[in-house]
Amino acid sequence: MRPMHEEGMIDAVAYEDRSTDGTKQRRDTEDMPTVTAELEPGAPAVLLAPLLAQFAAVARLEHVTRAAAELGMPQPTLSRAVARLEQELGVSLLAREGRTVRLTRAGRIFLAAVERALSEVERGAEAARAEADPTGGRVAFGFLHTMGSEAVPMLLRGFRAGHPRVRFQLVQDYTDSMLQRLREGELDLCLVSPRPEGPELTARRLGEQRLRLVVPADHRLAGRQRVRLRDVAGDAFVTLEPGYGLRRITDALCAEAGFTPRISFEGEESETLRGLVAAGLGVAVLPPATVARPDVAELQLSSPGARREIALAWVTGRPLTPPAEAFRGYVLSVRGQLPLHS
């Protein structure tokens, strides 16, 4: 039942898959593989980077004085910078001809690389500014699979009515994984259950789902409306994998009822588990189905703990970009209105 972790981008060509061995395969028209430069003292990038724009200005204008005027720096300072660059490289980049200069063969080769590097820096700076554009920009938003069919589309539709240029990177994952990605800065916000504890994260309640015991349509209890969980203590269970919030709730409810569930299948997505129940492979504790299906019965559980809280989480004290902050405000403004089918 893998892979079930998914990522996508609205209004951008970027998405992430996981292969069958669990590794991420990201395809992006802009994010091509790069080799990181060494940054130890004496490394070329450390020594040369501050001098590149100055060299490029001289090379483009073929005149040190004019280049100094364009850069807004004294001509002697610029001359010393170019000389230092040549010294670090150990080659002559410019041939002096009176007041003008011309590129040597080595200079032409080096200039091509410098222009590419400066262009990448400029492109990166523009992308960083666009990321924080309050009228555009991007929001990295994570959410549970069970929120993906109705709740998340409702939130995105409502928010984009007032912010049509904001892009979204959407991540479907389980709670523990999303919270880790939130802490590491990969996500701005995430929709999780249960609500996380601890001072490093802030979470606000959005609503609550009453959990159901899902059994096959021909199960001995299928005709009931309300049951106790210990009524199925002898049945096989199909559950989410360890690490999922719903799995922790299921284990806790079974322990409260006085038994350890006999697990026949573990999966990563609630609708898959519902299908396994329909096939007669076990029973499951799940949130309500978005669309009722005739091959299973969904029964109320008598335990007061048979519920899960849905919350919006972010990193405490970490400033959000303007679009992410605007989206957080919108989500909190419609709390209690999510279609949770409780």
| Tens digits of residue pLDDT in 282-291 | 999 999 888 8
Could you tell me which of 207, 167, 188, 213 has the C-alpha nearest to residue 315? 188
Alpha-carbon distance of 125 to 30, in angstroms, equals: 14
Bond before 164 cis per omega within 30 degrees: no
Q: Report yes or no: 167 and 140 within 8 Å, Cβ to Cβ.
A: no
The confidence score (pLDDT) of residue 95 equals 93
Q: Report yes or no: 269 and 243 within 8 Å, Cβ to Cβ.
A: no
The confidence score (pLDDT) of residue 312 equals 96
The confidence score (pLDDT) of residue 243 equals 82
Rounded to the nearest angstrom, the gap between the alpha carbon of residue 36 and the centroid of all alpha carbons in its chain is 22
How would you write the pLDDT of the chain (342 residues) with one tens digit per residue? 433 345 554 443 233 433 333 334 333 334 444 566 665 666 666 667 878 899 999 999 999 999 999 989 999 999 999 999 999 899 999 998 877 899 999 999 999 999 988 888 887 787 777 776 767 788 999 999 888 888 999 999 999 999 998 999 999 988 889 999 999 989 999 999 889 888 999 999 998 889 999 999 999 999 999 999 999 999 999 999 988 889 999 999 999 999 999 999 999 888 899 999 999 999 999 998 888 889 999 999 999 889 999 999 999 999 998 899 999 999 999 988 887 765
pLDDT digits (tens, 9 = 90+) for 281-317: 999 999 988 888 899 999 999 998 899 999 999 999 9
Alpha-carbon distance of 312 to 304, in angstroms, equals: 23
The confidence score (pLDDT) of residue 50 equals 79
Whole-Å CA distances, 313 to 71, 148, 226, 331: 46, 17, 33, 11
The confidence score (pLDDT) of residue 277 equals 96
